[in-house]
């Protein structure tokens, strides 16, 4: 399933969604459409720092990582290799600055990222 990842930011009067990258998900393993915390941890499978989606009901190890076909995923959100590096660097910086990043899945065509206070 193809989707789009957006960064949710606040403008003076409203929330603005800025497109970041395209995503792929395996329709057989979609995670529930909820709001999740996102962090960056060392992946034991991929042997590098990767963004991880926290507290997915009944699941663990759901990450953003590179991939070109939905079959490459059993729940993870796939992005291009260069986008993976950019997202990992961004989230690592936010995590270091003690900012909580939230992932909001309204539907699987639109995935929204932003600071925690945008979703309260």
Q: What share of the chain is helix, strand, coil (3-state, %, to 5)?
A: 20, 45, 35
Structure tokens at 76: 């993870």
| pLDDT value of position 81 | 82
- Report whether pLDDT(99) > 70: no
Q: Is 0.75 topped by the overall pTM? A: yes
- CA 74, CA 45: separation in Å to the nearest integer? 13
87 or 45, higher pLDDT: 45
CATH class of 2-119: mainly beta
| pLDDT value of position 43 | 92
- CA 100, CA 40: separation in Å to the nearest integer? 11
What digits encode the pLDDT tens for the residues 18-53?
788 888 999 999 999 888 988 888 999 999 988 899
Residues 6+ apart with CB under 8 A from 96: none
Domain locations in the chain as residue ranges: 2-119
Strand partners for 3 = 23
């Amino acid at each position: 399933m193809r989707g789009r990842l957006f960064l949710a930011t606040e403008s003076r009067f409203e929330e603005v969604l800025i497109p970041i990258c395209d995503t792929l998900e395996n329709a057989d393993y979609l995670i529930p459409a909820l709001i999740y915390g996102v962090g960056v941890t060392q992946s034991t499978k991929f042997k590098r720092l990767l963004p991880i989606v926290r507290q997915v009901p009944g699941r663990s190890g759901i990450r953003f990582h590179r991939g070109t076909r939905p079959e490459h995923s059993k729940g993870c959100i796939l992005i291009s290799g260069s986008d993976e590096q950019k997202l990992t660097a961004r989230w690592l910086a936010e995590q270091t600055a003690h900012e909580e990043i939230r992932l909001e899945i309204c539907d699987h065509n639109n995935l929204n990222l932003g600071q925690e206070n945008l979703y309260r």
